[in-house]
Chain A
């Protein structure tokens, strides 16, 4: 259980175009999902917290008008990179939060990532 998928797994686009990345929780519902960016040989950096039915919360330094997040259902969050430029090339990873309740811990399960290359 607790499988998170992302689509596409990789995408190459021209500078100035927009790219949409989907994150789905396949066998559970997730009120909260997260979007991360990871540059080569670096750690994951949280970009934003996506909450179903409400506006996403962006981390400091992340442009909300450039990285549009929509969490329209309990199993799907999308990240759209608008007017992409080469510096946006990165590995984008989403995660979905499972709230365990009780004495169990709340856990994030990660998707496989999407490699974006902007030419």
Chain B
């Protein structure tokens, strides 16, 4: 049920600045990682993904970095815009060949105009 008082980590950035959202994962067997954006009252939207045999992948205004040594994933958003305000989740597969995803706790990004 609902957890009263539970707060998402929040990141506030000025419009035009770069944003970095971090995620720690625990399953060393995960071979595929995805970042999703979720706006209030909507389903998650795919942003970018990366396989475990890579350490960096770039998209349009977004970059994902993967550090398997410390099990850390980050999402960098360049020139953050007000439309980027949302909750961002990292997700990992449960293991090689698995389709099931485990989602991280999420980070709320607020862009200050």
Q: Once the chains bind, are B89 and A113 in contact (CB under 8 Å)?
A: no
> How many angstroms between the C-alpha atoms of A46 and B104 in the bound complex?
12
Q: Once the chains bind, are A93 and B43 in contact (CB under 8 Å)?
A: yes
In the complex with contacts A111-B43, A113-B43, A41-B99 CB distance below 8 A: no
Chain A interface size band reads: 20 to 34
Q: Once the chains bind, are B6 and A87 in contact (CB under 8 Å)?
A: no
> How many angstroms between the C-alpha atoms of A49 and B100 in the bound complex?
8
Main secondary structure of the interface of B (DSSP, over half): loop
In the complex with contacts A43-B104, A105-B51, A93-B6 CB distance below 8 A: no
> How many angstroms between the C-alpha atoms of A93 and B89 in the bound complex?
15
Q: Does A112 interact with chain B (Cβ within 8 Å)?
A: yes
A 77-116 binary contact with B (CB < 8 Å = 1; else 0):
0000000000100000101010000000111111111010
Which residues from B are CB-within-8-Å of A32?
Answer: 99
CB-contacts of A40-57 with B (<8 A): 40-46, 49
Which residue of the partner chain A has the closest CB to B105?
A43
Q: How far is the CB of A114 from chain B (nearest CB, A)?
A: 10
> How many angstroms between the C-alpha atoms of A77 and B52 in the bound complex?
31
Which residues from B are CB-within-8-Å of A44?
Answer: 44, 89, 103
In the complex with contacts A41-B6, A44-B89, A109-B105 CB distance below 8 A: no
> How many angstroms between the C-alpha atoms of A97 and B32 in the bound complex?
14
Q: Does B113 interact with chain A (Cβ within 8 Å)?
A: no
List 5 tightest A-B contacts by C-beta distance, closest first: A110-B43, A43-B103, A44-B103, A110-B44, A113-B43
Which residues in B have some Cβ–Cβ distance to A below 8 Å? 1-3, 6-8, 32, 34, 36, 41-46, 49, 51, 89, 99-106
- 24 A-B contacts (beta carbon < 8 Å): A4-B43, A41-B3, A41-B7, A42-B6, A42-B105, A42-B106, A43-B89, A43-B105, A43-B106, A45-B103, A46-B102, A49-B100, A93-B44, A95-B43, A97-B99, A105-B51, A106-B99, A107-B46, A108-B99, A109-B46, A110-B44, A110-B46, A112-B43, A115-B41
